[in-house]
Every structure is written in structure tokens, then in C-alpha cells.
Amino acid sequence: MSAASRAALFLLALLATMALAAQDFPSEAPQPPPDRSEPAAPATEAVGEAVAIPVRRPPSETLPLAPRTAAEVLPLEVGAADEAGPPAEEAAVAGEELQAPGTAETDLAETPTDGAAELSAALVAGPPVLIPEGDPASPQFIGPPLVPPFKLLDESVAPGSARTLFWNAGQSFAGGDTVAPVNVVHGTRPGPVLCLTAAVHGDEINGVEIVRRVLNDLNPDRLSGTVIAVPIINLFGFARSSRYLPDRRDLNRFFPGSQFGSVASRIAFSFFHNIAKRCEALVDFHTGSFDRDNLPQVRADLRLPEVLRFSRGFGALPVLHSNGSRGMLRVAATQAGIPAATFEVGAPGIIQVDQVNTAVEAIDSLMHHLGMVPDEPRDQEPQAIFYDSKWVRANAGGLLIANVRLGQRVQRDQRLGVIVDPVRNTEREILSPLYGRVIGMARNQVVLPGFAAFHIGEETSAEQASDAAAAGRIDDEVEEDPDPAAGREPDM
């Protein structure tokens, strides 16, 4: 073959190779490389401020229990990751570094996705919070609060926060408004609204300290539901160290009150309609009256199934059936459909630290029973102890001298004390009518015949107490405390 022929064949082969190459590549000219002189904008600019859910951390790396704003957290992952794109931004949350997931460069305004819908809902709901799960030392970042702000007294309390509001309890004699503090602790998750009230009788100050200590122990970020705490309802009596209002009316005989009635009726009306009716459960703290001392105990209307269930949550305390008297705060509350109980603690006019501590532990048990706090009581949650009870009265006038102490267990016909007649130099015994426990007693003092001296409780079951209450077989006597102005006996 000649040289010319070989050159022609080589040219034909070259042309064929070029034709095949033209079929494998697009006819458009290749795109120039991206201009990387400016840093690429994060993909999250399409969605604005977003909320991230970091991974669970071990206990040694826990985050503080505090709300976060949307600007302080990372973007949610929306769509598939863009492997060719720039690495995700790193953001610091509470001083710790968390790696953000990648995001697709997608226009969410034009192409809605499930992730965008979740993001929108999260931003509307509010800032995320940390709550514990399992071990309290190992919280988990779970997203925004699950409840709206709590409204009370024309004010708003944000989820995961505590505020002190003020209720106008009336006008003083000088014409100025008398305002009482109303403390609200609003949790981050759904739960009941529990009210704690004290000092309906102005000289009963154990309850004031109990409410203060319970409030100090609450953490809003770990609370499910809301606690409304009013440590002093009867400001007029509290200022004078008096059980009564200035007109000697017993405030605890006027609920739910009247807008146009007496001083007591107006105060009761204002409190009940502005505060108490916002509650879903209520505990009203009291003490014994007129130098009587009560073992910490719960009194409730056990005929009502919801009240019976509520009363089971106070731990190993005596629970007594009591119908209550017309006008009592707890009676008005139960009539309005709010499970309520009276919590009797100690004696009036003094602070009894041991009694206060017992009551605080009982409220801790109650809140755990209601699902409001994750922490279990220090010991395994005890069950309430239900009692029938009977008041033993003085059978003569004279000096009462007790031979038993509060909380002591007694036998039938055991001597509880004596009444000494100092004029005739005689003694008369007071004997226990049953086996039981001293759950209330008068301090040594001058008494008249019929004076309620010793309160003896006899243990029973919740079912038996409820059945006996429904059948009217329980002695529901209260200590006599005639109030001519009120026309009714005040609560003990």
C-alpha cells in the first residue's frame, strides 16, 4: 500500500472517532466553574430562623435547664443533604458546639415539604426548652413548649416561668387598695392547675411558710401544669394576728361570696371568681383554732369520687371525711366541680418547723401523684391512711392537763387527761372511747364542760370511709367556735 493510501485511511479513522465522540457529549458548551470569591450563603436563609433537635447527650454533657430563643439554635434538617454543597454551619448552644445536619438548596416558599411544615409549627409554638427524661441529671432537648401562656388577673405568664401577680383584696380603712401576692409557676407541658391557699384565718401562719417552701422548690422547666399559690388571703386578719376580719366575721364561712354583701362576702367573691375558679384542684391550709394543735391531716368530702381520688395523693397522712360547712372555701370549690381538701397543720399563731416539713413532703407527693413533677418522693410513695374520727369533750369545767401527746396511739379507756377543779381540789379523767391515734388536741388551758379536748382517729380503709360518709355514719363534728356576727361555726 502506498503512502497516500495509508494517509487516507488514517484520516477516515480520525473522522469516525470524532463523530462518535460528538454523540457522547452535549452540544452545549461546558459551564464555567462557580465564582468562589464570595462565601456561599447558608441554605437556611430560605426558611429564616429555625429550630434544631440535637442528639441526646450523656449525663456528663448535659445542658442547663433554660429556654432557648430561635436565634440561638440550629436549623432543622429540611429535605435531602446536598453532598456537593458547603459544610453546614456550626452553632453554639449554651457554650457547647453541636454539628448541624446538611440541608438541601430548596426554595421552601415554592416547594412545601413536611419538614417546612414542622418548622413553621415549631416557630409559631415558641422557643424550645430542655426537660429531663429518666435521669433528672440528663435532660433532653425536645423542642418548643407544649402549652400556651397562662392567663390570670389580666396578666400572662409564659411557659417555663414564674411570676408574682397581685390580687386586690379590698380597701383598707384609709381608703387605699389592699393587694395580696399571687404566685404563679407555669410549666412547659400540659398538666393540672393546682391552687395552694393559706391564711384564710389570719392567725394560721404554718400554711404561709408551707406555701413559701413549696414555691421555692419548684422548677418551671420541669413542671407539667401550673401552680397558683396564695400564701395570705386574709390580709386584714394577718396584719392583726387575728383569726377574723376586722368586723369579726370568719372569711371561711362566706365563699363563694357576694359582690354586694358584707366585707367578708366581697373579699370571698373577688378571690373565688378571679382566682379559685381558674383552679382544677385546690388545697387550703389551716391549723387548729384557739390553742388547739392538729397532727398534719387532710379533710375532704369522701362521698365525691373525684375528691376521694385526689385525697389519695398526700402520702402517709391521716385523711378524714368531713362534709364541711357552708361557706368554706373547699366546699365552694367542690360545688363548682374543683376537687379540694383542707390541710390541717399544727396550731395557730406559731411556726412549727417539723409540722411544716411534713406538709411540704405531702405536697411533693401530691404533685407527683397528679403527674406534675417527675421526681418521686424520697421514699417509695406511701399511701394515705384513712380514718374515722371522734372528738372527746371535757365532762367538767376546770384546768385541762393532758396525759398523751399529739400523734400518740391510744387504747380504749386509756386516760387522755384530767380536768382539775382548783376550787374543790378534785380531778376528773377523760378516757378514750376507742382504739386509735391522737390527731388533734387542746393545749393545757382553762376549759368549760363540752369543750373539744382530744380528737381521736380510728384507722379504716378508703372504701369503708367513703361508704360510711355516704351513709352518714361518720361523726363530722367540728370544734365549736360560735361567731355571733357570722351566725355559723367557723372551721377548726
More confident residue, 1 or 38: 1
Q: Tell me, what's the pLDDT at 211?
A: 98
Three-class SS of residue 385?
A: strand
Strand partners, 163: 184
The number of angstroms, rounded, from the C-alpha of 447 to the middle of its chain's C-alpha atoms is 42
Extract the C-alpha cell encoding 123. 416557630
Question: Which residues in 238-251 are b (16+ Cβ under 10 Å) and which e?
Answer: beeeebbbeeebbb
pTM, to two decimals: 0.69
Q: Tell me, what's the pLDDT at 31?
A: 53
Extract the C-alpha cell encoding 196. 395552694
The tally of CA atoms less than 13 A away on the side-chain side of residue 469 is 28
- How large a percentage of the chain has pLDDT more than 70? 64
- pLDDT tens by residue, 81-132: 333 444 444 433 334 433 334 433 333 333 344 443 433 343 334 444 444 4
Question: Where are the extended beta strands (E) located within 432-488?
Answer: 436-442, 446-447, 452-460
Beta strands 281-286; 189-197: pairing state: parallel
Q: Tell me, what's the pLDDT at 471?
A: 74
Write down the domain spans for the chain. Answer: 43-143, 150-385, 388-461
Strand partners, 165: 182
- pLDDT tens by residue, 455-486: 999 998 888 887 777 777 665 544 434 333 34
Is the sign of the CA dihedral 21, 23, 24, 28 positive or negative? positive
Could you say which architecture CATH assigns to the domain 388-461?
A: Beta Barrel (2.40)
Q: Establish whether domains 150-385 and 388-461 are of one fold.
A: no
What mean pLDDT is reported for the chain? 76
CATH of domain 150-385: 3.40.630.10
Q: Tell me, what's the pLDDT at 66?
A: 39
Is the sign of the CA dihedral 184, 185, 190, 192 positive or negative? negative
- pLDDT tens by residue, 18-43: 655 555 544 444 455 555 444 444 44
Radius of gyration of the chain (CA): 36
Q: How far apart are the first and last CA of the chain?
A: 131
87: which DSSP letter? P
Strand partners, 466: none
Closest CA to 299 of 118, 474, 156: 474
Q: Which of the four pLDDT bands, split at 50, 70 and 90, describes residue 143?
A: low
Asked if residue 281 lies in contact with residue 193, where contact means CB atoms within 8 angstroms, the answer is yes
CA distances for 474 relative to 297, 301, 302, 412, angstroms: 17, 11, 11, 18
